[in-house]
Amino acid sequence: MSESNEPEILFGIYCPPHPQPLLSPDASAGYGKLRAAFDECRRRIEESEADIILVYSTTWASIIGHQIQALEKAVWTHVDDDFHYLGSMPYEFAMDTEFAHAMKANCEKRGLEARTVEYEGFPIDTGSVVALQLLNPENRIPACILSSNMYANRAETIVLGKAARDTLAAQGKKAVVVVVSSLSNRMFTEHIDPAEDRIHSQKDDDWNRKILEFFGDGRLEDLSQLSRDIHGQIRVQKVVAYKPAWWMAATMGQHNNYDGEVLAYEALHGSGGAVITLTPASGSVGDKEFDEDDVEFYRGDRNVLDKGMLE
């Protein structure tokens, strides 16, 4: 599949999934700064000519391939599993159903298992609810949400991003790309006073700041290449890999030609929460040979053991 037909990505946003910036922004100075950064992103989206907000959420785990939210009007009241005492999150989101269905078809063309979900009461995850409530409160722009398959590794995730590019290009839609994910994701396992929130460890903080340096320099593909290291160093091993930078790079373009801006970096119950924007630009930083292979089609498990069997 060639990329002669380039999609128009206006900018990308990387933001945290925790509900504090939505539900309790005044509980600490840090939560307030994250909220202000979300608000700034909302203003930029309003001023842009975006046709769609495309969300990839690490808190929406899927098993059967890649799930795509397609319900035209998704209405519910969401409550977080841990932070239920901070309050409920009523929502009413407008989804771009046309995009969702085409996205499914394009995933399948590239070898991915994919399906749309269109059910009243489907439990949209905390991260997606927080992001869409704060970034697009009036539903001015239709959205689409993509799940994060818990078994998927790099090849699948890169191909998922490319399928998103195919779809945006084919429909001629200008997109704001939103990745919902923490940086370091280790939280404190006890209740804390929000005013005393801090990053869980010095190591997590050091890594987060290094990642933010890369984002600030617009080095998205470099971060994508570093994903496995990031996973090993500062991610609780809940899923097989740290995938957000893979998907973001594959969707926005696998290079370092971005203007990056870190709008906020604060602790969210110990985890690293950052609101970052990346805007496609000219000029690139540190163009190097990349270690990781590029992938156009997903061909499933490689069945290495079967192939290695002696006759």
Partner 1 sequence: MADGQKGQIVAGCLAPHPPHLVYADNPPENEAYSEGGWETLRWGYQRLARKLKNIDYDAIVIFTPHWQTYIGTHFLGLPQFKSKSVDPVFPNLFRYNYDLTVDVELAQAMHDEAAAQGIITKMMKNPDFRVDYGTITSCHLLNPEWDKPIVTISSNRNTHYYSPEVMVEQATALGRACAKAIEESGKRVVLVASHSLSHRHFVEEAPLPEDMSREHIYNHSQYVWDMKIIEMMREGKSREVIDIMPEFTEQTIAETEGGGLIWMLGAMGYPEFPAEIYGYQSVIGTGNVVACWDPNDETREYVL
Q: Which residues bind partner 1 (CB under 8 A)?
A: 60-65, 77-79, 81-82, 84-85, 87-88, 113, 117, 119-123, 125, 149, 151, 186-191, 236-238, 269
Q: How far is the CB of 146 from partner 1 (least distance, A)?
A: 14
Closer residue to partner 1 in complex, CB, 34/117 = 117
Q: How far is the CB of 67 from partner 1 (least distance, A)?
A: 8
Q: How far is the CB of 144 from partner 1 (least distance, A)?
A: 16
Q: State the number of CA atoms in the 13 A half-sphere of 30 facing the CB.
A: 20
Q: In angstroms, what is the minimal distance from the CB of 70 to partner 1?
A: 11
Amino acid identity, residue 248? M
Q: How far is the CB of 24 from partner 1 (least distance, A)?
A: 14
Nearer to partner 1, 58 or 257 (CB): 58
CB nearer to partner 1: pick between 47 and 306? 306
Contacts of 163 (CB under 8 A, 6+ apart): 103, 106, 107, 109, 110, 112, 114
d(CA 86, CA 47) in angstroms, rounded, equals 31
47-75 in b/e form (b: 16+ CB < 10 A) is eeebbbbbbbbbbbebeebbbbbbbeebe
Cβ-based nearer residue to partner 1, 57 or 277: 57
Q: Decide if 273 contacts 183 (C-beta within 8 A).
A: yes
Question: What is the torsional sign of CA 122, 127, 130, 131?
Answer: negative
Q: In the bound complex, what is the minimum distance in angstroms from residue 128's beta carbon to partner 1? A: 11
130 versus 212: smaller Cβ distance to partner 1: 130
For the CA atoms of the chain, what is the radius of gyration?
19
CA dihedral 241, 220, 295, 236 (to 10 degrees): 0
Q: Which is nearer to partner 1, 121 or 283 (CB)?
A: 121
